Chain A
Amino acid sequence: QVQLKESGPGLVQPSQTLSLTCTVSGFSLTSYNVHWVRQPTGKGLEWMGVIWTGGSTDYNSALKSRLSISRDTSKSQVFLKMNSLQTEDIATYYCARDPDTTGIPTGYFDYWGQGVMVTVSS
């Protein structure tokens, strides 16, 4: 059974770094790519980036200077770190699986985590 679950602090202070973990089960990170997508409350979805099965990454250019995605395959975990958080980063953050198994992301998402709400406030 494929599952993804995000975890991390719900509150981050302005200018600080957000650290989130996506723990997956039912599939291997060496077989499937995992993306991060965020959604401000009541608004649309923004693709943030992806970590490929081989460990390389691709980021949304709008966030690239602040964003890092990494993983620990032995723990089936994908990590998101984003620095210099501001109020415009208030959102629900999702990790999602790419259905491709060839290593090249299809760019759409067949399984999503439940999401983690992040607020930026002092």
Chain B
Amino acid sequence: DIQMTQSPASLSASLGETVTIECLASEDIYSNLAWYQQKPGKSPQLLIYYANSLNDGVPSRFSGSGSGTQYSLKINSLQSEDVSIYFCQQNYDSPYTFGAGTKLELK
């Protein structure tokens, strides 16, 4: 199975700040990487697919990048509604696997 290592596990940032979350795959996943946002008590919501494609309705302050085994999610100009847990997920090979998540809080 492909292992996804996500960092940091938690992150505290101020409103308006830019934050970056990293995801490392145990092998090349050829940009088959998705990012999800999960708010407390809610189901995950798709933010980014194929590493850098923004899902419909997702604010443009969210962006994804990376290739090979290394990927990142960047949030520009942090808003209060961005407080969530973020997960990466590889969809290159079954079983599809997720990172352990990054909990983003406001400082």
Contact = CB atoms under 8 A, between A and B. Distances in A.
Interface stretch (B15-23, B63-71, B75-83, B98-106): B98-106
A58 B95 CA distance: 9
A45 B44 CA distance: 10
27 contacts: A44-B87, A44-B101, A45-B44, A45-B87, A45-B89, A46-B98, A47-B94, A47-B95, A58-B94, A61-B1, A61-B95, A62-B95, A99-B49, A106-B49, A107-B91, A107-B92, A108-B49, A108-B89, A108-B91, A108-B96, A109-B34, A110-B46, A110-B49, A112-B45, A114-B42, A114-B43, A115-B43
Residue among B87, B95, B96 having the largest count of chain A Cβ atoms under 10 Å: B96
B97 interface: yes
Contacts of B99: 44
Contacts, number: 53
Closest 8 CB pairs of A and B: A107-B91, A112-B43, A108-B34, A60-B95, A45-B98, A47-B96, A108-B91, A107-B96
Nearest to A95: B43
Contacts of A35: 96
Interface of B: 1, 32, 34, 36, 42-46, 49, 55, 87, 89-92, 94-101
A46 B98 CA distance: 7
Contacts of A94: 43-44
B94 A107 contact: yes
A44 B96 CA distance: 13
A47 B99 CA distance: 12
Interface residues of A, number: 20
Nearest to A58: B94
Residue among A45, A58, A94, A112 having the largest count of chain B Cβ atoms under 10 Å: A45
Interface in A94-109: 94, 99, 106-109
A94 B87 CA distance: 15
Given A47-B97, A107-B90, 9 more contacts: A44-B99, A46-B98, A47-B95, A94-B43, A106-B91, A107-B94, A112-B43, A112-B44, A115-B43
